[in-house]
Amino acid sequence: MSDQDAPRNEPLFKRVVIKLSGEALMGAHPHGLDMPTLTRIAADLKAARDLGAQVAVVVGGGNFFRGIAGADKGIERARADSIGMLATVMNALALEGSLEEIGQPARVLSAVAMPSVCQPYSRQAALAHLVKRRIILLAGGTGNPFFTTDTGAALRAAELSANAVMKATQVDGIYTEDPKKSATAKRYERLTHDEAIDGNLAVMDTAAFALARENRIPIIVFSILEPGAIPAALLGKGRATYVMP
């Protein structure tokens, strides 16, 4: 039986990389962290782990600082991206704390080495934590400027032989246009990586789509706004767009 044919009480994918934006963690606030939102997302991640899936999370830092926005304000791009990487570590540490508070073991691994704060990222360490049923929180992006955390998620999925990237967003899939701006926007149920790239669909950057395409990694785009969204998407329930090889 293929992953896509799995029963609805079993996860569609056995090992996933979940991409969370930093903005998803700030709730209704204009920036920073919202503790009830952190608790809700941590519960969702634990529920996904309880389904039997191995769960890695790549988190952005836009609730504190976005490298591209900083560059637009005059900060050198490489320096701005480095600031953004540090923001992702703050978010990962906050999520780690929320997960451990509800009894789910978790570990932060950062591509930017800061051993007094968290463990440096390595493929071997990440796989070992996954086997031990820990949720791993992959911070620091790729460790290099000029790459988004979307690309970081696709890279880590390829490195860790993940079965899918789950992109948690503010909308319930990929649309022909921004549904917040256009009443005529239509949602895609299913796309190929090539169609997503050719259509310049901005839900993820082109490098992330291309890396996923080269490694034949599906991408599931869904909304994170409702409680239970992550386990529902992992079970193939709810509204989502599937970008498939």
Q: pLDDT tens digits for 79-90?
A: 999 999 999 999
> Which whole-number Å values give the CA distances from 196 to 12, 129, 147, 184, 185, in the listed order?
22, 33, 19, 19, 15
When the pLDDT of each residue in the chain is averaged and rounded to a whole number, the result is 93
Q: What percent of the chain stands above pLDDT 70?
A: 95
* DSSP H or E run through 136: strand 135-139
Please choose, from the candidates 167, 173, 61, the residue with its C-alpha nearest in 3D space to the C-alpha of residue 110: 61
Can you tell me the distance from the alpha carbon of 197 to that of 176, in angstroms, rounded to the nearest whole number?
Answer: 13
105 DSSP 8-state letter: -
pLDDT, average across residues 37-60? 97
Residues 152, 17 contacting (CB under 8 angstroms): no
Q: What is the pLDDT of residues 202-216, one digit of tens each?
A: 789 999 999 999 999
Q: Which amino acid is at 30?
A: P
pLDDT, average across residues 166-175? 94
Please choose, from the candidates 235, 200, 173, the residue with its C-alpha nearest in 3D space to the C-alpha of residue 8: 235
Beta bridge partners of 121: none
pLDDT, average across residues 11-21? 97
Q: What is 3-244's CATH superfamily?
A: Acetylglutamate kinase-like (3.40.1160.10)
Residues 219, 165 contacting (CB under 8 angstroms): yes
What's the confidence (pLDDT) of residue 8?
Answer: 61
